[in-house]
């Protein structure tokens, strides 16, 4: 676990990209927190995996149905996730307290069906914030066009936000500016925290096949490099926004910066290092969410070196070369955003279907 401490030494907070009742009940999550994990994230895909792979939720489902046999599957989902998030937040509370609110957060996402509806997103976020009732909760809001004003409003209301599904540098800037506007409207800015979840490996998964289709040595040399270069450019914008005049007035009010969070850090191409996207983006004032398998690999053989602010020119050249090859990164990141929302909607719907099935099976068995 020393490698997690080394990440912290470089200013990066490692968060676990997974939550399940089994992990919470077994004490496994507490052990990870005690050895360096500083936060956790969840989403409909993660929760589907947790519910489908175990019977750990069955008793809670049965209890809810016995109290009200008409309880719907979406309501079951709401209560099961809220319980998990409360449990995780309580485990992380010492981290939150000792860091004075800089760390120790757990994220819970609004329904992905609301990704293109500003007002319903705001209402859903308020509901989750009230029901979970933990200061170290972050509400995940997809950073779609409709999500930007929702992020600003929620920050202004004092609700911690994890702006998620970020793929493009331009959209990252929109999110950062929404945070700045929101925090300027908040009377007690120090009590609000936010991260901007910038997805990494999915970019290479989309770009690499296009490079292989071109097939020239120049194109093939860019494989596995564009996602990291893209993230580095987002980090450069972070430095410009939050360490320049744009945020200076809020700094004087003791507002926190909105930290970039590197998401989708699991390696999808087996030809690449299984810790490529963790090792390549280590730097100050950032968060990295790590799936369990990638965490195991990083603890086993990863290196924690300050890589994020290195090789800026190489990243710029890679992106410039990509453009000369006729590959439109803006078009790709827009497609990834749409696909990301669709994937979470699919996971959410599958989960509702699974809960309906469990609802039927458990009530019949009882």
Cβ–Cβ under 8 Å, residues 92 and 136: yes
Cβ–Cβ under 8 Å, residues 85 and 19: yes
C-alpha to C-alpha distance for 175 and 161, rounded to whole angstroms: 11
The stretch 122-144 carries a mean pLDDT of 98
Strands (E) across 184-280 are located at: 194-199, 259-263
* Model pLDDT, residue 218: 97
Helix axes 226-242, 169-184, angle to 10 degrees: 30
70-115 pLDDT tens trace: 899 999 999 999 999 999 999 999 999 999 999 999 999 999 999 9
Checking if the pLDDT of 366 tops 80, the result is no
Nearest residue to 163 (alpha-carbon basis) of 227, 259, 251, 248: 259
Would you say domain 2-365 falls under CATH 3.20.20.70? yes
The backbone torsions φ and ψ at residue 110, rounded to the nearest 5 degrees and listed phi first, read -70, 160
Q: Which residues contact 137 (CB under 8 A, 6 or more apart)?
A: 85, 89, 105, 106, 107, 108, 128, 129, 160
140 catalytically annotated: yes
At 346, the pLDDT band (50, 70, 90 cuts) reads: very high
Instruction: Please indicate, yes or no, whether the overall pTM of this predicted structure exceeds 0.85.
Output: yes
171 membership: H or E segment, kind and range: helix 169-184
Q: Cα dist. 180→183, 246, 255 in Å? A: 5, 8, 9
13-64 pLDDT tens trace: 999 999 999 999 999 999 999 999 999 999 888 888 888 888 899 899 999 9
Checking if the pLDDT of 355 tops 70, the result is yes
Check the CA dihedral 300-305-311-315 and report its sign.
Answer: positive
Cβ–Cβ under 8 Å, residues 284 and 258: no
Q: Which residues contact 183 (CB under 8 A, 6 or more apart)?
A: 155, 156, 189, 192, 250, 255
319-336 pLDDT tens trace: 999 999 999 999 999 999
**Percentage of residues in the chain having pLDDT higher than 70:** 99
* Model pLDDT, residue 365: 66
Give the tokens for residue 9: 């030494």
Active-site residue among 83, 140, 232, 239?
140
149-194 pLDDT tens trace: 999 999 999 999 999 999 999 999 999 999 999 999 999 999 999 9
């Amino acid at each position: 676990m020393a490698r997690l401490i080394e990440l912290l030494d470089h200013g990066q907070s490692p968060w676990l990209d997974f939550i399940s009742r089994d992990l919470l009940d077994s004490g496994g999550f507490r052990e990870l927190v005690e050895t360096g994990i500083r936060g956790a994230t969840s989403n409909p895909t993660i929760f589907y995996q947790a519910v489908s792979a175990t019977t750990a939720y069955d008793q809670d489902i049965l209890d809810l149905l016995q109290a009200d046999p008409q309880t719907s599957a979406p309501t079951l989902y709401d209560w099961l996730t809220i319980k998990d998030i409360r449990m995780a937040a309580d485990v992380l509370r010492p981290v939150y307290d000792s860091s004075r609110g800089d760390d120790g957060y757990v994220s819970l996402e609004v329904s992905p069906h609301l990704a293109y509806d500003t007002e319903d997103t705001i209402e859903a976020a308020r509901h989750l914030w009230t029901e979970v009732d933990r200061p170290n909760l972050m509400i995940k809001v997809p950073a779609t066009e409709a999500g930007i004003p929702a992020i600003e409003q929620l920050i202004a209301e004092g609700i911690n936000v994890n702006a998620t599904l970020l793929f493009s540098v331009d959209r990252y800037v929109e999110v950062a500016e929404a945070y700045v506007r929101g925090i300027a409207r908040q009377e007690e800015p120090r009590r609000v925290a936010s991260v901007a979840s910038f997805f990494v490996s999915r970019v290479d998964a989309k770009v690499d096949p296009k490079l292989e289709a071109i097939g020239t040595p120049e194109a093939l040399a860019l494989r596995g490099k564009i996602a990291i270069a893209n993230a580095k450019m987002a980090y450069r914008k972070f430095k410009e926004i939050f360490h320049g005049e744009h945020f200076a007035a809020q700094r004087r009010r003791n507002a926190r910066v909105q930290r970039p969070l590197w998401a989708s850090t699991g390696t999808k191409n087996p030809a690449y290092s299984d810790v490529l996207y963790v090792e390549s983006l280590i730097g100050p004032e950032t968060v990295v969410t790590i799936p369990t398998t990638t965490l195991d690999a990083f603890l086993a053989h990863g290196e924690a070196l300050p890589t994020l602010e290195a090789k800026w020119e190489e990243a710029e050249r890679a992106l410039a070369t990509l453009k000369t090859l006729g590959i439109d990164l803006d078009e790709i990141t827009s497609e990834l955003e749409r696909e990301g929302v669709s994937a979470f909607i699919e996971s959410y719907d599958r989960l509702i279907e699974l809960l309906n099935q469990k609802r039927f099976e458990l009530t019949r068995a009882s």
